[in-house]
Structures are given as C-alpha cells and as structure tokens.
Amino acid sequence: MSHPSFEFSHALCRLPASSVTDGLRAQDQGDPDPLTFAAEHAAYISALRDAGCDVTLLPKDEAYPDSVFIEDPALVLNGAAIVLRPGAETRLGEAAALRPSLVENMNNVIDLETEGYVDGGDILCTDDRVLLGLSARTNIQGAEDLRPIVESLGYSLDVLQTPPEILHFKTESSLLDHETVLATPALAASGAFKGLNVIETAEGEEAAANAIRVNDYVFLSAGHPKTAEKLQAAGYTLKILNTSQAALVDGGLSCMSLRYSR
Ligand code: CIR
C-alpha cells in the first residue's frame, strides 16, 4: 500500500502565543519578538493556502510557549492522527491540549499509549515508510510502542539515530518528492536515507533542511541562496519564507503545521 506523502488538502496550524518568548532553545540568541513572529506565521499560512491547503488555524495557547510548533505533539498518517508524547517536560501537555482539535479535524484519532516519548519533529514520512530518529526528545520505548500503530496504517517503521547535536531528525531533513530528501551533510552521513536520493544543503546553509514539500511547492527558509539554486536546478518550485523568529527557538517550516488530506 502506498500513500501520497506530499499531497495535502488540509493543514492544521496554531497561532504563536505571546509566551513564545519563553520557548525552548539550545542556545540563547535572544527572544523572538511576538509581533514579528505573528507576521512570519501569517505569511506561512498564506503560503499553505496558495499551495492548495484548506488551513484550520487554532487559537494561541499561552500555557505552552512552544505550541506554535504543532507538528511535535501529533503525527498524521493517511488521514489518521496519532497523539504522541512529546519529550520535553514543558511540552508534554500539548498533546492533550491538541487532541480535541484532532478529533474535530481528522478522520480518525489514535493515542500512542507509552511511557516513552516521541516528538513529531523526529518523524519523516515517505509514501510507505516512516523514518523515526531517536533523539533527546524521542526514545526507543516510544518508538517501539508507535510501531504497531504505524504498521496498522500500512507503513513500515525504520528506527534511526539522530546525531546528538541535532534537536530533531527533521531539523536537518525533509521530503522533496516520492524518493528524494533534502538533508544536511551531517545527517546524510549518518546513513539514515538508504534507498532514497539525497540532495544536501549547501555549506553553511544547514538550516535550509527544515523545509516542506506541499503539493507543487517546496517551502524553503529565506537566506539559503545556494541551496535554493540547487533545488531549482533539480526542478523544484520554491516558496521562500522568513523564519527568523521561529529559528530563535529552534523551530522551522515543518514544525508549524500538521498537513493531511481527508
Ligand atoms: C522545542 O525545543 O521544542 C521548540 N522550541 C522547537 C520545536 C521545533 N520543532 C521541530 O523541529 N519539529
């Protein structure tokens, strides 16, 4: 069985909370500015709509500074939402907070029953495979408890290792088409993408790897001209978006939507 991995009729997003200034980050380069964040987020929503997605925009959730990164508490596979168990203490409650909106918007909602942890940002899906990178946020117990759910939805699960300096597997990789990923040289070198073509981000442009393919477009973060050129040369049509504020709290393009079809 095979499922289209980058064709989406819908997306679910959440407005950035003003408390995003308290968002988690590995290195402090200053707090994001909520107004600038809101403007960049609005442009992102417009781009999703231009790409053909019907976007449902959830209200701010001030209780969770990182709640704009809606991809982490859930995974959508073939129209079914799986409620995950985020691995950062301040984010664990985001799963229960998001659940009612998943019930409202998705065909089917399945709860990951585990004492382990899985963040959606560690999961890259192709048409028939789920690649899951173990990280500081996703552990083996979470991965193994996720396996039967993934398999019941018709996908195989590959459990991989995210190199320790990388927050999330998908911080440094994204799907470009049925058989091609964009990845940083460091993640590509880990051997995670056997059986797939890899386009590497250009030197010094590692942050470009947190991209997304949405229908006919690849969304790419601004400020990565050499990677943009490589992708255009490979035939992709780009939408370049500013993610300066999300980047201050280690977020990027993939984290800010749950994309699905129904
Ligand atoms: C966090 O550390 O959880 C957030 N500040 C950023 C999450 C980004 N999400 C992602 O890469 N999937």
255 is catalytic: yes
41 is catalytic: no
Q: Please give the Cα distance from 117 to 135 (Å, whole number).
A: 10
Q: How far is the CA of 233 from the centre of ligand 1 (A)?
A: 30
With beta carbons less than 8 A apart as the criterion, state whether 129 and 156 touch. Answer: yes
In the chain, the amino acid numbered 252 is G
In the chain, count H helices and then E strands.
6, 15
Q: Please give the Cα distance from 182 to 135 (Å, whole number).
A: 19
Ligand 1: nearest atom to the Cα of 26: 2
Domains of the chain in start order, with CATH, are 10-260 (3.75.10.10)
With beta carbons less than 8 A apart as the criterion, state whether 132 and 9 touch. Answer: no
- Residue 63 is given by DSSP the state T
H or E stretch including 230? helix 225-233
Cα 12 to its chain centre, rounded Å, is 12
- Does the pLDDT at position 2 exceed 80? no
Length of the chain: 262
- Does the pLDDT at position 74 exceed 60? yes
Q: What would you measure as the largest C-alpha separation in the chain, in angstroms? A: 46
Q: What is the tens place of the pLDDT at every residue in 23-49?
A: 999 999 999 999 999 999 999 999 999
Question: Which residue bears the tokens 């308290």?
Answer: 22
Q: How far is the CA of 250 from the centre of ligand 1 (A)?
A: 6
Q: Please give the Cα distance from 47 to 252 (Å, whole number).
A: 14
Which structure tokens are listed for 47? 């781009």
For the chain, the average pLDDT equals 96
Q: Which of 118, 167, 174, 256 to mutate to test the pocket of ligand 1 (most atoms within 8 A of CB)?
A: 167
Q: What is the tens place of the pLDDT at every residue in 104-161?
A: 999 899 999 999 999 999 999 999 999 999 999 999 999 999 999 999 999 999 999 9
